[in-house]
A and B are shown apart, each in its own frame.
Chain A
Amino acid sequence: MHSKQRRLFIKHSLTCAAAYPCALFNSKSLYAAWSALDFRTDPYADILKRLFNARSIIDSELLKISLPQTAENGAVVPITVSSDLDNIQRLYILVEKNPTPLAAAFTLSSELAVYLTARIKMAESCHVVVIAEQEGELLRNRQWVNVVLGGCGGG
């Protein structure tokens, strides 16, 4: 972790700790990166607000996402995210109607080309949203996926 990121991280951790004192006791350590708040069972809009606050998000076709139009089985839905843009530091995969909308948050080093795949769960038909943080800007793309059989217990 670069020192600047670390400073930011510590700053954010302290802010979170101040705002949600109970979180301190639940988390195994103050410096654990994983945030129970980000992965809470909350509506999509609330999670989006928690992750990005009021920051503006730009819809961009430069962020390419590939998902099946129809997923027979919501328990395993393959997703590919790619982009020719450089300097994408963070990537978020969100499933709008999952009880836990945030599926994964990636922190990427510059050694990587932006081309990654994963398998997510989907509880029902909805948009899958990918948000990338590139040099302080937030870019978004999304795709609708029809789910025939909801993923076991749904995300």
Chain B
Amino acid sequence: MSSIKIRTQQLEDATEIRLLITHPMENGRNRDPVSGALIPAHFIQELNIQLNDAPLVAIDMAGSIAKNPYFSFRLKNPPAGARLKVAWLDNLQLSDSAEHLID
């Protein structure tokens, strides 16, 4: 299952894009409650959103973003049938991407 959920909603004068990504976003400073060992850093570094293959938003981040990152944006005038593509890359070089059509 994809780690990325994309929702869009038509507002009065914009289209809202909501993203929810399943990711631990460990900053490397937390300890395992049972063993007391440090949990290695594991966080998304880059999140890219494209609209019809053109860059829309690029976010650089690290462990100061909450677990399971949530973001929302507002698009001024989305062309009908526009295609959103969301992709992330983390510090362990894992990645995922998902696409969504705006109605």
Contact = CB atoms under 8 A, between A and B. Distances in A.
Nearest to B76: A113
Interface in A15-55: 28, 32-35, 38-39
B74 A104 contact: no
9 contacts: A38-B60, A39-B60, A102-B64, A104-B65, A111-B76, A112-B74, A117-B70, A121-B64, A153-B63
Contacts of A117: 70-72
In the complex, the 3 A-B pairs of residues with the closest C-beta atoms, listed nearest first = A155-B64, A153-B30, A153-B29
Interface of B: 14, 26-30, 45-46, 51, 54-67, 69-77, 93
Contacts of B61: 39, 103-105
Contacts of B59: 104-107
A109 B54 contact: yes
A115 B64 contact: no
- Name A's interface SS: loop
B9 to A, nearest CB: 13
Interface in A72-94: 75-77
A112 B72 contact: no
Interface residues of A, number: 39
Contacts of B29: 99, 153-154
A75 B64 contact: no
Contacts of B71: 116-118
A155 B27 CA distance: 7
A5 B26 CA distance: 31
A107 to B, nearest CB: 4
B32 to A, nearest CB: 11
